[in-house]
Structure 1
Amino acid sequence: MTALRTGAFAKGHGTGNDFVLIADPAGSTPLTADRVRELADRRFGIGGDGVIRAVRAGLTGDGALDDAPAGTWAMDYWNADGSLSEMCGNGVRVFVRFLLEEGLVTLEDGAAIDVSTRAGLKRVVRRGELLSVDLGRFELGGDRLVAAHGLDVARPGLDVATGNPHVVVALASAEELEALQLHAAPALDPVAASGANVEFVVPGAIADGVGAIRMRVHERGSGETLSCGTGAVAAAVATRHWSGDAADRWIVDVPGGRLEVEVDERGHAWLTGPAEIVFHATGSDAQASALDEAGAGDAERISPVL
């Protein structure tokens, strides 16, 4: 693929969790909530579960992102509703793929790059065509009751922190999972002060030290998405906890594809999966800037990657 110009746009996804990406190395074009909502709109904008700006740490204007070594790339991530987010497990992999295709970084197979997020530095390792991110230590919390459309009664959910707040709910069958209607946010009791992503999981068999899970998710600020990277980790570590730590490697099937979660000897959770750029802007920087201001696509400026 032809490398994108600085200031241009791309659209990428990780197992269907999709993002608008903007290259802004010098930090000259800060995002705003209104701009994010326009860009993420699926009918009047480009469309995505979130918007990511690639900027050098120290130039973002955000203390959490700028608190990183000089030269580090910072992932300025916003949810589709214009709210800020600490982290995104699929997003950070797509972010690195974007940097690679922009020609802003190089990464040999097995090599690593550190990315600044609002949840701290995250290390991403290239594993062939896949990318793995070390999400660090996770934290298991207390229980909540979770009510959702399609569930007959509220179910217990386990709080899990993986850089973002999550509540994981175990269901009894694939039929229960499919019956869920996640057009509205599940209700939490007690309410999560800062909101939470809610994962509904159906645990499967554990064989040869590898567990299997099916999952759907409602993400705060985005609604139901085809995938959630930090949510897949939360689902895996919650199921691992319920199983008595019976496995350290988990295959998580989401509507958008398959992710792998592994807990290493340090207790760090690694998320591995695909990350793709599916189209890119082909106009001039001025045109890209105009698209930025408009927050809407133009068929003459955007071409699919074939």
Structure 2
Amino acid sequence: MILNFTKMHGLGNDFAVIDAINQSVALTSEQVQQLADRHFGIGFDQLLLVEAATTTTADFRYRIYNADGGEVAQCGNGARCFMQFVREQGLTDKAQLQVETASGPLQLVQQADGQISVDMGVPRLEPADIPFVAPVRERTYTLDVLDRQLEIAALSMGNPHAVLLVDDIETAPVASLGPAIENHPRFPERVNVGFMQIVNNDSIRLRVFERGAGETLACGSGACAAVVAGRLQEQLLESVKVILNGGELVVSWAGEGRPVLMTGPATTVYQGRIEL
């Protein structure tokens, strides 16, 4: 099987994007892992598939695979790359799209300045909807990890997130706590782990250890989750600059019952072909 692909990134969170409308694509988990290998494959954090919509209300279907081969329901940085890809490839000329995902519809908007905005939907805060094992919903939860008790926020942005407040992300123990929290038994579907440093009430710094991918240079849904967590803890304003290792996003959330809006860039690196 020969596949045409485009390598893209959103603030360094990198993707292989494949048009599965104009070519036949059927990948196993092992093949995704092979493609993700940075020495013997393309190399990426996630693989994105562009498929034909299955409903009359959507323009496309958007599917996401982590580097470990597992399919996931949401990727915010990938959504911006998805929008740029379908426009560059001539699959649409619309500046506003609705796409299907496993977690529900996403709205994507191409801004006049080249930035792309994503309506990430309403965050899910009830433990059963994350999913997270807890008797009742709380602002923060105590989690026993590596013989320590940590205070985390837990929520879903279409994928599960834990957010941990730290004094300095440069010295945060991402390499040790990231995988330990990701695989904690209270997160039955594993979890993305955000380490958030609050700079002031409209600016944060963030590192994210992504489920199935490890630490990445940026995580769009993680940025959204961090802002929601900070807003619920009454430490952040409605619109927040999120500074990640790969660059900056702007995330806005008006409060409970309202969708989270994320705006940032998408970059095309190159196009290629690979044989599996």
Q: TM-score range by the shorter chain?
A: 0.7 to 0.9
Cα-to-partner distance string for 1:229-253 (whole Å, 9 max, x where unaligned): 1000000110111126x51101111
The residue number in structure 2 matching 1:259 is 249
What's the CA shift for 1:139?
2.3
Bigger drift between 213-222 and 262-271 goes to 262-271
What's the CA shift for 1:31?
2.3
Change beyond 3 A, Cα 1:146–1:134: farther
Cα-to-partner distance string for 1:22-50 (whole Å, 9 max, x where unaligned): 11215732222111111111111000001
| Pair 1:273 & 2:260 matched | no
| Pair 1:185 & 2:179 matched | yes
The residue number in structure 2 matching 1:57 is 53
The residue number in structure 2 matching 1:145 is 143
Change beyond 3 A, Cα 1:100–1:10: same
Which secondary structure state, in structure 2, belongs to the residue aligned with residue 120 of structure 1? Answer: coil
Match of 1:136 among 121, 128, 133: 121
Higher Rg:
1
Mapped partners of 1:183, 1:156: distance in 2: 13
What's the CA shift for 1:292?
3.8
Cα-to-partner distance string for 1:139-165 (whole Å, 9 max, x where unaligned): 2344242647xxx94421111111110
Mapped partners of 2:191, 2:36: distance in 1: 20
Alignment of 1:186-225 (within 5 A): 186-187=180-181, 191-206=186-201, 211-225=202-216
Change beyond 3 A, Cα 1:30–1:250: same
Mapped partners of 1:169, 1:70: distance in 2: 37
Match of 2:97 among 113, 126, 147: 113
Note the residue ranges of structure 1 that are not aligned, 5 or more in a row. Answer: 1-5, 59-67, 282-287, 294-306
Match of 2:67 among 69, 80, 88: 80
Cα-to-partner distance string for 1:65-119 (whole Å, 9 max, x where unaligned): xxx3276211121110000100100011101111111111113xxx311111111
- 1:18 corresponds to which letter in structure 2? D
> Matched residues, percent identical?
34
Please tell me whether the aligned partners of residues 210 and 216 of structure 2 are also in contact (alpha carbons under 8 angstroms). yes
| Pair 1:125 & 2:109 matched | yes
The residue number in structure 1 matching 2:44 is 48
Mapped partners of 2:119, 2:159: distance in 1: 14
The residue number in structure 2 matching 1:235 is 226
Change beyond 3 A, Cα 1:174–1:76: closer
Which secondary structure state, in structure 2, belongs to the residue aligned with residue 181 of structure 1? Answer: helix
- 1:137 corresponds to which letter in structure 2? V
The residue number in structure 2 matching 1:33 is 29
Please tell me whether the aligned partners of residues 7 and 24 of structure 1 are also in contact (alpha carbons under 8 angstroms). no
Which secondary structure state, in structure 2, belongs to the residue aligned with residue 267 of structure 1? Answer: coil
Normalised TM-score (structure 2): 0.86
Please tell me whether the aligned partners of residues 67 and 213 of structure 2 are also in contact (alpha carbons under 8 angstroms). yes
Change beyond 3 A, Cα 1:220–1:144: farther
- 1:97 corresponds to which letter in structure 2? Q
RMSD: 2.3
Mapped partners of 2:22, 2:16: distance in 1: 18
- 2:107 corresponds to which letter in structure 1? R
The residue number in structure 1 matching 2:134 is none
Note the residue ranges of structure 2 that are not aligned, 5 or more in a row. Answer: 127-136
- 1:131 corresponds to which letter in structure 2? I
- 2:249 corresponds to which letter in structure 1? L
Change beyond 3 A, Cα 1:146–1:239: farther
Change beyond 3 A, Cα 1:253–1:146: farther
Mapped partners of 1:70, 1:292: distance in 2: 35
- 1:79 corresponds to which letter in structure 2? N
